[in-house]
Structures are given as C-alpha cells and as structure tokens.
Amino acid sequence: MFSSGKLGRPARIVLDDADLARAVAPWLDGIGVRCDYQAALPLVNTALRDMEAYINRAEPRPGLLSVPGVTLPLLEELFSAAAEFYRRAPWRWMDNLAVLEVHYPTEGPARYAAIMGFGGEVFGLAVYPTLDDLRIQLSDLKPAQILKKMTTFSVSFDEPRALAFEDLDALEKYNWPVVSGQAFPQVIKAIPPGKVGVPTAAEIALLAAALRIIPDFVIRHLRADQGAPRPARATYPLPNVHAGQTITLSYPVELPELQAMQAMAGRKVYK
C-alpha cells in the first residue's frame, strides 16, 4: 500500500450512536484515541446530502418527517401497513389494469389506485389523483412524456439506497418495520413537468390507509385469489392515527380506455 503522507491515527472520533460510542471508547482509549458521542453531526449530514445530489444529479428529496403535518404516529402506521402489504403480496392476483377507486375519507373525492408487481419488476402501490392522470398513464406516450404530464404518488419497495438519507436515519431511530432488504418503502410523488418530490401529509395518510386495507379487499370482496376480480364496494374503519376516518374502495373503474386495455390483455371482468 502506498501513502502520500505519514501513517497515523486520529486523535478524536465523534459518533452519533451513544451505545456504539460507549462500547468502543475503552478500546480506542487504549491506543490514545478519544471517542465522544454527539447527537447531531452537521458536517457528516452535509456530506451525505452532497453525495446524494451528485449521484442522483438532483437535489436530495426531503425526508418524510420534514413534510408539514406529518407525525411520527402516521409514519409508524405507514411503514407498518407497507410491511403488511408486502407480506400479503396482493400483486399475485391483481395486475396494474385492475384499478381500484379509493375514497379517503369516505366522503372525499375519488382517487385511483393500481397495485404494482404482477409483472415481477416493480412492487408497490401507485395512486392517481384524477381520471385524467390515469388516462395519461394508460396512453401510448413514451415514459419520459408521461412523467412530464402526469401526477401520481406511490409507495414502491426497493433496496435501502432508494430512500432519502433522512428517512433511513428515522427508520433506524424509531425501529419502523421493514420485511426484507428488498422491501424498503420508497414514498415519492411525480409532479409535472417531470419533477420528483414527496407527497403531502394528506397523501401520505391516504397511502397508509390504502396499503392497510387493500389486501383484505382484494381477497374478501373481490375474491381475486379465486379468479378474475369481481365487482365490489366496501367501507372500512381505520387505525386510530386516522382520527376516526373511514376508507371506501370499489372495483371496477368505469373508464373506456381501461376496459379496452383489459379486453386486449385478455382480462375477464365480471359484470
């Protein structure tokens, strides 16, 4: 090994993990290196953000906790619901053409949710705020053109490197559940013209509610594990973090473009 200078060791090491600092301090003291704990390491965080911006060629996405109105209980429910959604894997029976109409809260406007994963590539849940956004997704435009025109927010399962550094830190700090190394929930929002950011607090709450309820709706009401999904509509209560709100799901979505694509794909839809 070649070195540009003399070999040596640092006089002091600072760690942001109190337990780790206590564990290694005696060993480092034995070789003349001081080890201290410091809750926040601004220089390290700045370096990580700069690295993320360089790798992604864009400004880093903010962490979910930085979204106005987002709370720790809401994110705990989001990660818990995402873990359960991944375990139950509703994409085994529902392709991305089997779009669900979602009302959260029940008296709220319609949103449109597609389960991702039937093709075995990207797994998760995408929500389209309007029928026009869904039409753009179903159009024959190229993917780059679709992203410039369409709004959607989603949870997709990926490796930890897909998450913002702030979200990884929060996940470790609060011990939110993750099923496997390939199942870290990445929460993003696509905003025309081609921007990628994070959803609002209301949209994150909708994602948490939909992830929690959709697997049951797919089996109990659509009976999709027994064949083609059947028409159904159901209203569900939600965990306390949703402050008494309910969510209503229905299938199918009456959209001619969607029905035509289902027919072309040979998908049977009960009437």
Under the banding of pLDDT at 50, 70 and 90, the label for residue 226 is very high
Task: Give the residue with greater pLDDT, 162 vs 86.
Answer: 86
Q: What is the average pLDDT score of the chain?
A: 87
Task: Give the residue with greater pLDDT, 49 vs 201.
Answer: 201
Residue 184 is predicted with a pLDDT of 96
In a domain, 238, yes or no: yes
pLDDT cut 70: percent of the chain above it = 85
State whether 35 and 114 are in the same domain: no
Alpha carbon 87 to its chain's center: 15
Work out how many domains the chain is built from and give that number. 2
In a domain, 271, yes or no: no
In a domain, 5, yes or no: no
Q: Is the pLDDT of residue 183 over 90?
A: yes
Strand order from edge to edge, sheet including 152-158: 195-197, 184-191, 152-158, 124-128, 110-116, 100-103, 246-251, 232-237
Q: What residues contact residue 263 under an 8 Å CB cut-off, 6+ apart? A: none
Under the banding of pLDDT at 50, 70 and 90, the label for residue 70 is very high
In a domain, 135, yes or no: yes
The string of DSSP letters for the chain reads: ---SS-----SEEEES-HHHHHHHHHHHHTTT-EEEE-S--HHHHHHHHHHHHHHHTSPPPPPGGGSTT--HHHHHHHHHHHHHHHHH-GGGT--TTS-EEEESSTTS-EEEEEEE-TTSS--EEEEESSHHHHHHHHSSS-HHHHHHH--EEEEEEE-GGGS-HHHHHHHHHHT----STT-EEEEEEEETTTEEE---HHHHHHHHHHHHHHHHIIIIIS-GGGSSPPPEEEEEE--GGGTT-EEEEEE----HHHHHHHHHTT-----
Structural domain including 19 reads: 12-39
State whether 235 and 168 are in the same domain: yes
Q: Is the pLDDT of residue 256 over 50?
A: yes
State whether 128 and 93 are in the same domain: yes
| 32 C-beta neighbours (distance < 10 Å), count | 9
State whether 156 and 29 are in the same domain: no
Residue 192 is predicted with a pLDDT of 93
Residue 82 is predicted with a pLDDT of 98
Give the mean pLDDT of 157-177: 91
State whether 89 and 29 are in the same domain: no
Give the mean pLDDT of 10-36: 84
State whether 19 and 123 are in the same domain: no
State whether 35 and 68 are in the same domain: no
φ/ψ (deg, to 5) at 229: -60, 140
